[in-house]
Amino acid sequence: MRRLENFAKIIVLTVLMTAAMLVADLIVITYFGLKTDAGLSKLLAAPYLFEEIEETVGGQGEVQYSMSQQGLDRIDSFQGFAFILDNEGDVIWSYQLPDDVPEHYMIKDIVQFTRYYLNDYPVYTYIIDDIVLVAGLPRQTVWKYSLSFQISTVKTLFSVLLVLFFINIIVLLIGPFLIIKHDAHKREMQRTSWIAGVSHDIRTPLSLVLGYADELFHAAKDSVGGMEKESVAGKAQMIEHQAIRIKTLVTNLNTSNKLTYGMGVWHREKVLLPALIREAICEIVNRGLDEKYDICVTVSEALEQCCVKGDRELIRRLIENLVNNAINHNPQGCEIRVSLTCQSLWIFQGIQLEVSDNGCGVSQEQIKSFRTSAKLDKLPEHGLGIRLVRQIASFHHWRVRFSGNHTGGFCCRVYVKPLARNGWG
């Protein structure tokens, strides 16, 4: 269903873009057509040349023809020529007539060059009383051919063009509205799905918090005996851990929504990446991390001063989410490795941030879901954390790859673009 919706959206956008391009193409073609015409239509228009023809009567009553200087100048501006034919097909007046143009024509010759060319010269004919005025242009200057259509065909074409015009107008007006409405509905469904997914993730720690709080409450009311201090402290610490987990989930949801809908105010600033990594790991450890988890941070010596351009809090959230993901999905404990190394591939030149563990790992189906688009309608099994990692990486134009670790755990590699290649910052 989702693929069908995406396909329909692509079709609608393609139609809209095609219509817009056709309109733009017509405007461009019209503009260049008028620009390159350079007044040719005015030169060949009958009224302009008719007015310049002059008649004089000789002593024996013969009529002689000529053209005013203004008319001759107009023909010169296009390097053209002109001549007048009488009823016998003889040239009785000419101006700049080319050498390869004859001075006598038969009827078939006149019919031929009227429709096409005269010795490859584009010419145009005008009837003035009993004479024919012929105006010509240099070779290879005008494309001149006649097109013939049946009247019924022309009427059909005009009707179809009129219908297509109104259809295009309707599509251009209604299409964007439908797309916007569909996207708004889709975003609302995504928002509802996100809230449902996070509610599912919150349910487990919240149940633990309520359970431990109930035990502490009844222990405090029990006057016969009481819980040992170690037990009370352990339960209180568990409540704190689960409350922090809930807080993290809510923060992730808020950040994900802001990134999805462009509502957040993020800063692209210079960030010293190794220092931020250590800072984020120290904060996780200082929350009272269980001893069954061992976090090891390795930074290549060449990258100690490596800086990136991005939002400090988003990058911190990316690191924390990857580490917390390893902690939350390996309750038996595991070793977590965070490394920052130089990476030089034929398609990538930069640095690699890797977070991996040797825990229980994930299935191939889960890895496949992690590799899909960050704009899913449903949350992956690992919750919002992995999804947010994809969104933060996309915001910074970084690439993310998920895979199983060779030790059986889970591995995430983030290919980061450094702020400067020389000296890594």
pLDDT tens per residue across span 228-272: 666 666 676 677 777 777 777 777 777 777 777 666 678 889 999
Q: Is 266-425 the same fold as 177-263?
A: no
Give pLDDT, residue 105. Answer: 92
Give pLDDT, residue 36. Answer: 61
CA distances from 153 to 145, 162, 163, 164, 328 (A): 19, 14, 15, 16, 74
**What gap in Å lies between CA 379 and CA 54, rounded to an integer?**
89
pLDDT tens per residue across span 331-387: 899 999 999 998 876 666 789 999 999 888 888 888 877 776 544 444 444 456 888
Q: Contact, 133 vs 84, CB < 8 A?
A: yes
The residue type at 125: T
Is the full-model pTM beyond 0.95? no
Give pLDDT, residue 195. Answer: 66
DSSP 154-193: HHHHHHHHHHHHHHHHHHHHHHHHHHHHHHHHHHHHHHHH
The architecture that CATH gives domain 266-425 is: 2-Layer Sandwich (3.30)
Give pLDDT, residue 171. Answer: 73
Residue 306, token pair as written in the block = 């490596």
Give pLDDT, residue 346. Answer: 64
Give pLDDT, residue 345. Answer: 64
Give pLDDT, residue 249. Answer: 73
Give pLDDT, residue 7. Answer: 65
Residues lower than pLDDT 70 in the chain:
1-10, 12, 29, 32-48, 58-59, 61, 190-201, 203-204, 217-234, 236-237, 261-264, 345-348, 372-384, 407, 420-425
Strands of the 293-299 sheet, one edge to the other: 293-299, 334-345, 348-357, 410-416, 399-404
The whole-chain average pLDDT of the chain stands at: 78
What CATH code is assigned to 177-263? 1.10.287.130
Residue 294, token pair as written in the block = 């061992």
Could you tell me the residue ranges of all domains in the chain? 40-136, 177-263, 266-425
